Amino acid sequence: MDAKPRSLTVYLAALVTLALLPLGLIAVLQTRAVIAEADDNSRSSVLARTIEAASREQELLQKAVGAGAGLAAALAEVREDGVACSALMQRFLKSAPEFVFAGFIRPDGIMACSTADEVMDLSDASGFSKIIENPQLTFSVNRSGAVSGQSVIIVTRPVMDRAQLLGFVSISIPHALASIPLDVEDQKSDVVIALFDASGEVLLSNVGLDEVSGYLPPAPDKRLVLSNSGKTFSDRTPLGEERIFAVATIIPGEVAVIGSWPRDVALASVGAGSTALTIAFPILMWVTGLGVALWGLHRLVIRHLDSLRSAVRRFALGERDPIESLEGAPQEFQQIQTAFNRMVLLIREAEAQHERDLVEKTLLLREVHHRVKNNLQLIASIMNMHLRKAETPEARRLLEQLQRRVRGLAMVHQTLNQNSQMTTINTEALIGHLVAELAHRPPILGQVVEVDCRIAPVELGQDQAVTLSMLVAEALTNAVKYVGVPQDGPPTISVELTRPEENTLHLKISNTRGQTDDGADLFHSGGIGQRLMQAFLRQLDGSETITETSSHYVYEVTFDIAEVEGDSEPKTIADERGGDARAAAE
């Protein structure tokens, strides 16, 4: 089975899509690059804003580290003098009001001098053993400072005399003073900023030390997070929220800041939401290209094809008007229009000439039928004159039979002359005229001969119609010749043509039998009529049935309707009659 043809629009759409595919791939690659760049910009912006949010805390911690370094250098000279040491601490605290405590701790854990003016033993304090084992700069958190009673960040720095550990300088920064300020938009966006030390301990957060864990990545060791310093990454919090995390170092090797940002806020920070429009660009390019191509196809091709198709359809339905114009058509369609118009004009002229030839042929043929009919009627009139002068019954009967045949032929030509269709003849009109012309005869024994005629209207070709008319004429002549008066009714001649099937005709001609007044049964014509009827039956390619009873004689013929061939030349009545005469002579 052949596949259903597709529309030209479908093919063009496929070709345009194929042509734009490389550009689409390039656009997709560029789009991916733009998206990646936008994502990098967004992450860089998040990182920068995170560092900016912790800038005050960074400055404060760096100041504490620097102050610790200065105090360590001064303490190398006055550590043994408790009064001088305490005075140093007091002067420092007055010069740096952002700090709430400063003190010196000896290696044995005794705080010999501090801003608290009291000696304290910290040897058993948590974390002291660690700094003794590994003396270095450390940061820790004390929720309740031993001296200040506040939640503080403790910066501890070792005091060294070359390779000898002399003790530690401890400086406390209150959380209340070191709170991380955020702008209004970031506060509304649920942005969280937190500071970590090298061990992964949270030093400070804008949401508090107790709640910050719900906003941080669920890393088993937060020191792994510090390894991503200067980077951003995506992860889910313990609460299942996906967030963007930015990590940056504010005290190299010691303290880092981490920013926890909602994903939509982070991507919107540099307008990353516009990436949706960037992704739509290849699709928009394809739709635009396809739309322009289809518009051009309709404008330059389809509408002109529709005009040509409409013109061809009208031409097939019989209209012979040329195409007026194809507005704005390309040169190729203009050439098609010119060729179509030339074809229409040539065919229209040829059809007009054919119509004139047909009318002329019809007129000539009608004239031939008219003249033949007149000649046959003239012959019948001459035979009628001889009939009046005939002296013997045999001569009169022969002349009457010949006269009926001549009159039958004349009636056929008259029917052909009056028929509106020259290729077919209506059986109802043809046989009806024959019956009206040939079935008339004088009363028999004073009784009028009744004629019953029932003819189905069927269109037959001229060849078959003429042959059928000859057969009817001969059979009707025999019926008129041998009709008699039956014992139970008037003399009757019946002619019936029916159509039992679509392509079959059935002819039935019958007459009553009985007494006559002309001695017909004493006369024998030699069977010429029967031989003619056999010849006509062979031409019809039919079969006959004859039924004889004491009161009726029935002649029946069944034959198939022949197809009308318009291209073939029909036989003339003279040809038919000549063949019948030869068949009868044989």
User: Do 467 and 353 fall within a single domain?
Assistant: no
d(CA 57, CA 206): 11
Q: Is the pLDDT of residue 502 over 70?
A: yes
User: Do 482 and 506 fall within a single domain?
Assistant: yes
pLDDT per residue as tens digits for the range 564-585: 765 444 444 444 444 544 444 4
Q: What is the pLDDT of residue 186?
A: 58
User: Do 377 and 437 fall within a single domain?
Assistant: no
- Burial pattern 187-218, b for ≥16 Cβ within 10 A else e, equals eebebbbbbbbbeeebbbbbbebeebbebbbe
Q: Is the pLDDT of residue 292 over 60?
A: yes
Q: Is the pLDDT of residue 527 over 80?
A: no
How many CA within 13 A on the CB side of residue 35? 14
Share of the chain above pLDDT 70, in %: 86
pLDDT per residue as tens digits for the range 75-93: 877 877 878 888 888 888 8
Total domains in the chain come to: 3
User: Do 94 and 137 fall within a single domain?
Assistant: yes
Residue 556 lies in a domain: yes
Residue type, 118: E
Q: What is the pLDDT of residue 353?
A: 92
Residue 113 lies in a domain: yes
- Rounded average pLDDT over 473-484: 89
User: Do 429 and 371 fall within a single domain?
Assistant: no
Residue 143 lies in a domain: yes
pLDDT per residue as tens digits for the range 271-282: 444 556 566 777
Q: What is the pLDDT of residue 284?
A: 82
- Rounded average pLDDT over 211-218: 82
> In what helix (H) or strand (E) does residue 255 lie, and over which residues does it extend?
strand 255-262
Final residue before a domain boundary, out of 375, 404, 420: 420
Residue 436 lies in a domain: yes
**Higher pLDDT residue, 477 or 145?**
477
Residue 182 lies in a domain: no
Assess contact for 235 and 243: CB atoms under 8 A: yes
User: Do 432 and 408 fall within a single domain?
Assistant: no
User: Do 484 and 432 fall within a single domain?
Assistant: yes
Q: Is the pLDDT of residue 183 over 70?
A: no
Q: What is the pLDDT of residue 442?
A: 84
Residue 259 lies in a domain: no
Final residue before a domain boundary, out of 154, 174, 194: 174
Domain around 85: 57-174
Q: Is the pLDDT of residue 525 over 60?
A: no
User: Do 511 and 552 fall within a single domain?
Assistant: yes
Segment among 38-47, 137-146, 177-186 with least mean pLDDT:
177-186
DSSP code string of 286-333: HHHHHHHHHHHHIIIIIHHHHHHHHHHHHHHTT--PPP---TT--HHH
- Rounded average pLDDT over 382-404: 85
d(CA 397, CA 403): 10
Assess contact for 480 and 439: CB atoms under 8 A: yes
User: Do 350 and 460 fall within a single domain?
Assistant: no
How far from 296 is each of 147, 301, 333, 422, 551, CA to CA, in Å? Answer: 87, 8, 15, 55, 89
Alpha helices in 54-144 (DSSP H): 55-78, 82-95, 128-133
Residue 112 lies in a domain: yes
User: Do 510 and 378 fall within a single domain?
Assistant: no
Residue type, 215: Y
Q: What is the pLDDT of residue 455?
A: 94
pLDDT per residue as tens digits for the range 306-356: 888 888 888 888 888 887 778 778 888 888 888 888 988 999 899 889 999
pLDDT per residue as tens digits for the range 231-255: 888 888 888 888 888 888 888 878 8
**Which of 4-18, 199-213, 383-397, 498-512 has the highest average model confidence (pLDDT)?**
498-512
User: Do 448 and 574 fall within a single domain?
Assistant: yes
Q: Which of 464, 463, 470, 394 is CA-nearest to residue 438? A: 470
**Domain containing residue 515: CATH number:** 3.30.565.10
User: Do 429 and 531 fall within a single domain?
Assistant: yes
pLDDT per residue as tens digits for the range 419-452: 766 678 888 988 988 888 888 788 988 899 999 9
State the pLDDT confidence band at 178, using cuts at 50, 70 and 90: low
Residue 258 lies in a domain: no
**Domain containing residue 141: CATH number:** 3.30.450.20
Final residue before a domain boundary, out of 387, 420, 453: 420
State the pLDDT confidence band at 225, using cuts at 50, 70 and 90: low
**For the purposes of burial, counting CB atoms within 10 Å of the CB of 445, is it exposed (0-12), middle (13-18) or buried (19 or more)?**
exposed
